[in-house]
Amino acid sequence: MRNLNKLSLLILVFACPVFVWAQTKRSPEFKEKYTLKEVVVLSRHNIRSPLSDNGSALGKLTPHQWTKWSSASSELTLRGGVLETMMGQFFRKWLVDEGLFTENYVPSVDEVNIYANSMQRTIATVQYFSSGFMPVANLSIHHRYTPSKMDPVFFPRLTKVSDSFCAEAMSQIAAMGGKNGIRGINEKLEDSYQILADVLDLKDSPACKAGETCAFDDYDTQIILKKGEEPAMKGSLKLANSASDAFILQYYEETDARKASFGHEISNSDWEKIARVKDVYGDVLFTAPIVAYNVAHPLLVYINDELNSEARKFTFLCGHDSNIASVNAALEVEDYELPNSIEKKTPIGCKLVFEKWLDKEGNEFISVNLVYQSTEQLRNLEMLDKENSPMVYQLQLKGLDLNSDGLYSFKDVCTRFEKAITAYDDIK
């Protein structure tokens, strides 16, 4: 889906109903009927270095050296900054074309809200995005703390934990593995674990030689749910996730694909299998409904308030993949797999975009899309414009009906937010 022009909701439904695309070329008829009133974005930060370095457990999983990153551990890389600036430029052109802003617009303090979690990678992401988005506006960037500290709004921690909560959460997580429960989750990843071990050359690694890890074969994953902390785990899925995460980032950062895979010749399908480990890890920790209601609650309240702010035209919130995953789960987004990306759920730099549209009678509508750069756009540092836009994938909300133009009733979406927010209050 390369030759796209502007964000829109003309929908093509393929043979499999999971693959529903929101195209970016709006029809004249659509533009006659609707005016864009507001956009709220929840973004994942762009490319960072791994959360751990060569001297950590990650470094011991391979005899090879990971890429020399252009940033310190967990911080935004130079490539990540360039890619985010491109995305900001694309959003500027899109919103000018839709009439929400004029070229070189300087907004009032109430019209635009840019707010990041207080981590280096999220603050840096919004700085780069805003420079591309409104380069002459000198936008104020809001974050609460000196880097790097987690802001409670973005911190996906459990604030309510009880025996009944843990029992329900574990039941919902186990259901992801089918009849074999937690083990079943790992069994479904057997192919991914194998390709990951092969590309790492795990059997030749310091970890294996020390008798610690020669295979990802601990399928009895332990889930840890503690009040005030993020959901966590122990076992092969956790260890494999650290390698999966590092490989994904290395693939984006390293222009030589063979070098990114430590000299192995692997296919795009293999890269997708490697990335699947990270996708599943995030699903297990953050998308069980009762967990999502718990950890996403502050963001759900914040986004709902922004969507109902009369003065606001544009909101950009920057957090993490766990934020997008948990918000989607709490809002009951239908399951999906993103095309043209090795990451199928929350690719690096992706944006959950809520667009508020107004018809001529004053009725308000919402579309919900994931906007992201394809794997090739990330790897090749491709400029984004009308002829080569980012990917735009329309998300489906369970139980809500789209109108004939592919839009949800604003009232229905607000009711869905209220349901998710109230579900937190019901956790005992």
Sequential DSSP letters for 128-187 = HHHHHHSTTS----B-SSSSS---TTT----S---HHHHHHHHHHHHHTTGGGHHHHHHH
| 158 pLDDT higher than 70 | yes
Indicate the SS3 state at residue 227: coil
* Residue 55: pLDDT band with limits 50, 70, 90: low
The amino acid at residue 79 is R
| 362 pLDDT higher than 80 | yes
Q: Give the right CATH number for 28-157+289-426 from 3.30.540.10, 3.60.20.10, 3.40.50.1240, 3.40.50.300.
A: 3.40.50.1240
**Residue range 9-23: mean pLDDT, rounded:** 38
Task: Quote the pLDDT of residue 18.
Answer: 35
- Positive or negative, the CA dihedral 25, 128, 108, 408 is positive
Spatial CB neighbours of 230, under 8 Å, sequence gap ≥ 6:
155, 156, 157, 158, 285, 295, 322
| 53 pLDDT higher than 90 | no
Give the β-pairing of 351-359 and 11-13: unpaired
CA pair distance 186, 200, nearest whole angstrom? 19
- Positive or negative, the CA dihedral 373, 375, 381, 387 is negative
- Active-site residue identified among 45, 143, 297, 320: 45
Q: How many CB atoms lie within 10 A of CB 270?
A: 19
Task: Quote the pLDDT of residue 304.
Answer: 98
| 7 pLDDT higher than 60 | no
| 356 pLDDT higher than 80 | yes
**Residue range 234-248: mean pLDDT, rounded:** 97
Give the β-pairing of 364-372 and 391-394: antiparallel
* Residue 24: pLDDT band with limits 50, 70, 90: low
Catalytic residue list contains 45: yes
Every domain of the chain with CATH number 3.40.50.1240 lies at 28-157+289-426, 163-286
Contact between residue 197 and residue 248 where contact means Cβ atoms under 8 Å apart? no
- The burial of 340, by beta-carbon neighbours within 10 Å (0-12 exposed, 13-18 middle, 19 or more buried), is given as middle
CA pair distance 357, 80, nearest whole angstrom? 31
Contact between residue 61 and residue 213 where contact means Cβ atoms under 8 Å apart? yes
Q: How many CB atoms lie within 10 A of CB 363?
A: 14
pLDDT above 70 coverage of the chain, percent = 93
Give the β-pairing of 408-409 and 364-372: antiparallel
**Residue range 220-224: mean pLDDT, rounded:** 97
CA pair distance 423, 428, nearest whole angstrom? 10
Average pLDDT of every residue of the chain = 93
* Residue 57: pLDDT band with limits 50, 70, 90: confident
| 6 pLDDT higher than 80 | no
Task: Quote the pLDDT of residue 27.
Answer: 84
Compute the chain's Rg from CA coordinates: 21
- For 198, the token pair is 């092969």
Indicate the SS3 state at residue 409: strand
- Active-site residue identified among 151, 245, 279, 321: 321
Q: What is the domain class of 163-286 according to CATH?
A: alpha beta
Question: Bridge partners of 397?
Answer: 333
**Residue range 278-294: mean pLDDT, rounded:** 98
CA pair distance 91, 96, nearest whole angstrom? 8
| 13 pLDDT higher than 60 | no
CA pair distance 262, 382, nearest whole angstrom? 25
